[in-house]
A and B are shown apart, each in its own frame.
Chain A
Amino acid sequence: MDIYREDILDHYENPRNMGELVDPDYEGRDSNASCGDMIQFQLKMEDEVIKEVKWKGIGCAITTAAASKLSEFLKGKTLSDLQKMSCEEIVEEGIGFKVNPGRMKCLTLPVRVFKKIWES
């Protein structure tokens, strides 16, 4: 099945950048009311650039793989570049895989957390 293709399962089974930062500059979390899944993102900045990203949470394969992929995407980006992007663009460029409408909330949870950090 398409959404459980190998690279997604690889991110699920070996999630990148999982863990916690000692002294993060930014931190945010959000959950999906429909399933109780929770994701936390922490960022460490150097000037305007995201130097370190750590995330943790409870989630399905889609949420986990999406958070893992997003964490890789965020590293090295500047805040002002990211601010110019919409949620849809971050999903497309930063996560890079699609799911059917019923699973969109799983896919977008990590992006919503990131946007929340943003807006706060």
Chain B
Amino acid sequence: MSAAPILAAFRQSLGEAWAGGAGALLPLGFLGGAAVLVPLGIGSDGETLKAVGPGIIWVALALASLVTLERIFQSDAEDGTLDLWLQAGAPVSAIAAAKTLAHWLSAGLPLALFSPLLALMFQAEASLALLVNAGLYALGSLAFFFWGAVGAALSASVRRGGLLISLIALPLYVPTAIFGALAMSGGPGSGGAPLFLAASTLFACAVAPYAMAAALRLAAD
């Protein structure tokens, strides 16, 4: 097996993410919009915002990750590229993982890097903890993108498959959201939560590509 097709798939997806202008910034806008609107909805009490902030960011992060996932495999199915990747001589799971990773780097990682700014809007104190939290958001968003990509692969041949992706992916997001929010709560059991978060992300990265591969083969059939 050669790694060249996997690297080529990664490179193509990375280029594609920025090809349509600032399309990759759409989830960032969604995340920012959600974080700005929530305080308007629940009031401006500093303590309340501080308490709900990390959880709101987790939810907004999970939903923002769904915004652009629809196109990750659908465009390949539409323009015939999927047929070429399926015959590229590398495991389809590895190609799907490479494409998902590229998509996460262009649309997911910026979300995590943006999160300290949002946390400040939720009255969090400016400290090193914000950067640690950004790392946890990055870890969690990786799981969100891999599970979301399973939904995207399953709906690759379905027009307007966004709803289908949400239905498939959101239940899979639950462990990540629970461990992520717990890790930032500072409450009982929060000490080991980052490890469980990392484990759930590793599990997603290990298992999701095989589900994507099976779904993509079905989409091409």
**Are A and B a genuine interacting pair, yes or no?**
no
B contacts, CB < 8 Å to A: none
A contacts, CB < 8 Å to B: none
